[in-house]
Structure 1
């Protein structure tokens, strides 16, 4: 079937349509739903958009010719995870309407849309509304909000892989479950990057009963990965030490290309790299920018526009530029440090050569010598098409409670009808009547524990429908819609009132007035704190601290762990090895001389006695988060053999247990320590799971509306939020131990914080491995980076770097 709009527009552009675009147009014309998977830069937006246009003009001729017919709501809802991406989609689709002189109107509705514009969109809806998950729920929380979607034909969810692995994905599942009831003819399309579970992604988005199509672009985009090597190899590396030492080489790369994106894993790292480049290469002033999620919208929009227009030579950024915003001038990407995941690395690589047939060029800059091996691992993963799956949230009762409030604040809902709808979603497929009743009880009268408090009598039954009749409760709920949680953010402002961005309160709380810190690429002095505003002025002082953000902590993915362990097979070969393995040979030879070199199916454990105590080092290569939990379980099991107090340190490759107690270890005992049996029981016994759950509960309580986070500009302080949430946690623990939200807090600790599933897999795998036990009299190249982590903690208030250098020089001299 021809798509006339696409043919004309593509012809005028001088383009040829890809087969996957034609397949999408055909599927949409047949009334199908589905998922589109295609590389960045190949026209994914147009693959869906022209299908939507063709459908509209094929089915709505009478609406177009009759001026008297007024639309109740939009024809298409395009949902994106980022406001910047929404603007990008709006710009691209609007251009099509302009070029083809179409009446099809497209408008934006995000957190930036003012009240007057929103009201106009309600009274005179556009044909297409480009929006975010939170804004869809805000519409449902208004009177006649459900009627607004009664004529909706399409929901398109952009970057579905990104949303699916978060509670925002649950928001989308729930919104779609309601809109499908309002309009059973709804067609749902997702646009997704490559993930390991695309079929599941399709099933979650489309729902259990919808047999949609999966359209994959048969395009192998060439990716060129180049590892940046230091001039000399450090045999005793430590994390973060090497990155900035490669600054000159990074700048040489920047000079070779028109525009370069420099990706770092954390906002702190982005600030450091920006500061270092500008201070050592002042000629970059005006040509270098910084972009991360804590900067103001104004700053980020300026940077994005400047990249578009080719005005910038380089941008230091974080995952804030990961997603599909189209930057055609970018022809090079630099990844500083381990990308932690293969999919993330591929996504970032795809930002360069953002055109069909262009090669994506990505340079990998390791931050310590051992990290160089990941250059080999990433190449192996890309060649073998290894890519992570996204793990969806299930049984997120905090989001369900918020959603029920959203419906009640809007038009109200019938309980039985909503239960049937949500039971069709992936997230709540296993919900029981009893669990749903418990959610309802919490909203109607506060449940078992909170009945005495009027604030928790939120729903009333009016003519068979549950509604919110209290205006104050309704307003508070609308202000709290969403599932993005983080530490309380404080606004950073100049004395003039100019807004720069936001920083977590926990960081500002550690500063004294007059202290200097780096933010937004500027050296700032803290002048005063007024409510939630940190007032600053520019400073000429040369020394300042770099903010740390709690959100920047994530570990290597299971699939990257597999690829890293595979690389260890190559370190025993002498021929047919990568340049990374060849470069690291001296380090591996030193490791073998002092201790041993493990293979892919072996676990190395080292026992070293120093003046600091008895060190046991383990190298499972499973990522820092898994290692932290694993270390606590092993410490607990060792403590049962002989009581001891352990200090724990870990990195992505292994972990250390340090104590004053001397253990008699052998391979049989070590195998028993990694016995997968009773792992869950030992996690409960060896880790303070209750305290972890208490902290997790703060976010759950916020999403479920138990804790009000404050009005705009007057947010509650994080210590008060934590205290309030902690009070609920204690009440539920003491009087209602089966409370759904309490259970959810524990489940999330096990699933996402301790990653129990991954830990169980690691223990199962290690149970089949050969254990190499090595007693050595000094630190090894593998153990030194982990030792450095604990050293940093121990001497945090002293010059720990120079102390560590002395230890390293001592090892080298020996």
Structure 2
């Protein structure tokens, strides 16, 4: 194969590859019975020409070796003499997750010996030991696998230019995972710094699931001249199987919030039929419960199934990952901690419990099985209620049609820029005008104004004036030569400990309590807010173990094994996953296709289970379509209900429901309560309203009224902005989380950030971080762009309004959401059971082809009640306290809603 050097190589560039390196590559492939794909050759040649690009290829088809072997061909040569030191740092490989970093390191090391190269490969993440960090401080490896946070830490070194200026290639793995977050902006700023030191730097992004490839390429390669940018598509014959684990029958009245544990026997049978399976859940609390449920169902599987999520101790995670690779585990119950790029060849299939919420996430998880060229990837959706059967069909059709979610880069997050200024001031210092030109080469800050830049400089110099009396906020200042540096070594240490944009609730170590009264083995971490609600003697489920809290001390929860007591299950933040636009649109299209009879039963096995719900919905009301907006009204003892079905996802429905209530409140004297789910929203009014008149008016007002002002006016905007500001304050360095062993509590951090928020509002209302908090509330928490698009779409649709005598199948889950806020877990279970019985009687017998109506849903009700009796919670509930024995109840009255 021919290898060409970059025609723009500068003095000091690595020499062209020696012929033996290129000749050995075919032997390497032959020994593994591989054949290079066309897209791999295209990447090798592009890197050889000095081009940068984005490689988009199916998971498991060889993206890693496309970039890595291209680097070896372009920049590596055999050692000049025996015993000579390895080449200096040449390749940086960025990954978004620790598990992926460790796996990538092993993959990069594998071919070096066969190619006769003396390159070294190192790993640097939050899990890297202090001894390894010390060795890297003396000499970095030739190729370093690291994370965005660790790269930023390297940029704080005084010799950053000397150590990183020789990098010739940066590979950003799983770019789709980074681009839409502040971590992606952190990568953009780091790349701009490396481009300044090495103008001919090659940058390559790797991704498998992106819907807006041109934007993704342009964001990553903003610092590369357009003629050097390429986009490579990896079209390879990869078989993808997306199917559904069908229940015996499905209910006509779905509701979300239970665990779907009636599907447990079906899941057990699937695990028995496969060698190695990954069982994905969307939240860590659900993963804990499913892992325990599987062990209860099959005690003989102890040691053969495992649990994996990000809060578990590093040693536990590494043990699970290694045994997955060895094929020693039958199944691993996991969350997004195993979503990305990890190569577990023994994994035959993936089970997705519940909705994947997005097409890209489903494809990403599917790629964890059959992770090799030529092998099929299979993901099976395990529905936990009837509407998830519709989602399964919709997701399959959207995936096969290539309808993958787009991801957009944040625009001008000033908290990240402020942090970067201090980072660069530590890493050798900067001149303001030169750094401004460098920052503007990034996509995120391409439109940064001079006024915004001067504000950022003032903020790191003295806190923007408001905090100028406090030395802790004089973090970077210009010296007599105009070079900005960090003046205080103490502030330098604090900054290095706070680098990064991942903001989460403060966590506590979980350790075993020993008889000697000291700490034993570490089990992992759990959020401080969860432990704070427990008293010594309370039990909780963690890492698949039933634990009793002994005491808390110095940010450590000491525990011991417990038996026979009812535990709580930790709830971690970040579990909210709204339905994506692409999947929501596909669900509406699927419902319309079921109604019109366009689905082929031979290729849609879910159809017989979906039809009872669809037919009853049509009998009592109607179905939404791409052209019509379905609305339903119902009068009950609670008041007058409006059910609206935009199918735009939970976060949009929250903003939309609050917006509609606020706009109506400006016109008519009424109060409203709002409940939402991924499919629709409910407005409960205290007085009757003519929705056929009012609804078109409030939806159409988007055309001539400011959406942002209305949305902020409809919500507790101050509280939402304050919560967002807490994260911004942490990233911008206003709030220090404390030193190791003396970390501040979450309450202390919140109090500090709240104080800053109030001070800025009162004395510095023009503070740009306040404006950023408001924008992030609109764009991230309320998804204002999608809300605006949804409002425009709804205003153009025909309103299909129906008056109900009783809740329809689509309305029922919204009523459950409303009741969930009012009732305890036990009372909610009783209420739902009675409502289901009444609705089923009113609906009449189900069609014969669905089987008995003691089905997935009613079975799930029983499983859910059993789970909350054992674990003290549902997947939406918090830790359960002591419960008093329940008194005998009188016969219940008819349901107010019915």
Place the TM-score, normalised by the shorter chain, in its bin. Answer: over 0.9
Q: Once structures 1 and 2 are overlaid, which stretch shifts more, 296-305 or 4-13?
A: 4-13
Q: Once structures 1 and 2 are overlaid, which stretch shifts more, 211-220 or 519-528?
A: 211-220
Q: CA deviation at 1:288?
A: 0.9
- Superposition pairs of residues 399-798 of structure 1, within 5 angstroms: 399-462=416-479, 463-496=481-514, 497-574=520-597, 576-577=599-600, 578-666=604-692, 668-675=693-700, 676-677=702-703, 678=705, 679-796=707-824, 798=826
The answer to whether 1:359 aligns with 2:376 is: yes
The answer to whether 1:39 aligns with 2:58 is: yes
- Superposition pairs of residues 207-286 of structure 1, within 5 angstroms: 207-211=222-226, 212-241=229-258, 243-286=260-303
Q: Equivalents in 2 of 1:661, 1:716: separation in Å?
A: 49
**Aligned partner of residue 142 in structure 1, secondary structure:** coil
Task: Give the conservation status (yes or no) of the 8 Å contact 1:570–1:581.
Answer: no
Q: Equivalents in 2 of 1:372, 1:392: separation in Å?
A: 33
Q: Equivalents in 1 of 2:131, 2:626: separation in Å?
A: 61
Q: How many residues align?
A: 809
**1:170 and 1:229, CA in 2 relative to 1: closer, same or farther beyond 3 A?**
same
Q: Equivalents in 2 of 1:116, 1:591: separation in Å?
A: 64
TM-score (norm: length of structure 2): 0.88
- Superposition pairs of residues 305-320 of structure 1, within 5 angstroms: 305-320=322-337
**Aligned partner of residue 759 in structure 2, secondary structure:** helix
Other-structure match for 2:14: none
Q: CA deviation at 1:571?
A: 2.3
**Aligned partner of residue 572 in structure 1, secondary structure:** helix
**Aligned partner of residue 97 in structure 1, secondary structure:** coil
The answer to whether 1:101 aligns with 2:116 is: yes
The answer to whether 1:380 aligns with 2:397 is: yes
Q: Equivalents in 2 of 1:160, 1:36: separation in Å?
A: 10
Task: Give the conservation status (yes or no) of the 8 Å contact 1:516–1:541.
Answer: no
Task: Give the conservation status (yes or no) of the 8 Å contact 2:649–2:679.
Answer: yes
Q: Equivalents in 2 of 1:64, 1:794: separation in Å?
A: 75
Q: Equivalents in 2 of 1:249, 1:194: separation in Å?
A: 29
CA deviation map 1:500-550 (0-9, x unaligned):
111111222222221111111111111111121111111112521211112
Task: Give the conservation status (yes or no) of the 8 Å contact 2:646–2:679.
Answer: yes
Q: Equivalents in 1 of 2:645, 2:76: separation in Å?
A: 61
Task: Give the conservation status (yes or no) of the 8 Å contact 1:90–1:106.
Answer: yes
Aligned equivalent of 2:35, options 6, 13, 16? 16
Q: CA deviation at 1:246?
A: 0.8
Q: Equivalents in 2 of 1:232, 1:54: separation in Å?
A: 57
Unmatched segments (≥5 aa) in structure 1: none
**1:220 and 1:602, CA in 2 relative to 1: closer, same or farther beyond 3 A?**
farther
Unmatched segments (≥5 aa) in structure 2: 4-21, 515-519, 843-898
CA deviation map 1:309-351 (0-9, x unaligned):
0111111111110000101000011011110110000011111
Q: CA deviation at 1:19?
A: 0.9
**1:141 and 1:111, CA in 2 relative to 1: closer, same or farther beyond 3 A?**
same
Q: Equivalents in 2 of 1:176, 1:797: separation in Å?
A: 50
Q: Once structures 1 and 2 are overlaid, which stretch shifts more, 225-234 or 471-480?
A: 225-234
TM-score (norm: length of structure 1): 0.97
CA deviation map 1:104-142 (0-9, x unaligned):
111112223334433332333321111111111111111
Task: Give the conservation status (yes or no) of the 8 Å contact 1:291–1:320.
Answer: yes
Q: Equivalents in 2 of 1:66, 1:521: separation in Å?
A: 51
Task: Give the conservation status (yes or no) of the 8 Å contact 2:86–2:118.
Answer: no
**Aligned partner of residue 147 in structure 1, secondary structure:** helix
Q: Equivalents in 2 of 1:491, 1:237: separation in Å?
A: 39
Q: Equivalents in 2 of 1:242, 1:538: separation in Å?
A: 25
Q: Once structures 1 and 2 are overlaid, which stretch shifts more, 506-515 or 187-196?
A: 506-515
Other-structure match for 2:69: 50
Q: CA deviation at 1:697?
A: 0.5
Q: CA deviation at 1:618?
A: 0.8
Task: Give the conservation status (yes or no) of the 8 Å contact 1:240–1:368.
Answer: no
**1:118 and 1:64, CA in 2 relative to 1: closer, same or farther beyond 3 A?**
farther
**Aligned partner of residue 794 in structure 1, secondary structure:** coil
**1:84 and 1:242, CA in 2 relative to 1: closer, same or farther beyond 3 A?**
closer
CA deviation map 1:630-686 (0-9, x unaligned):
1101111222232233222111101111232222322x4211121223222211211
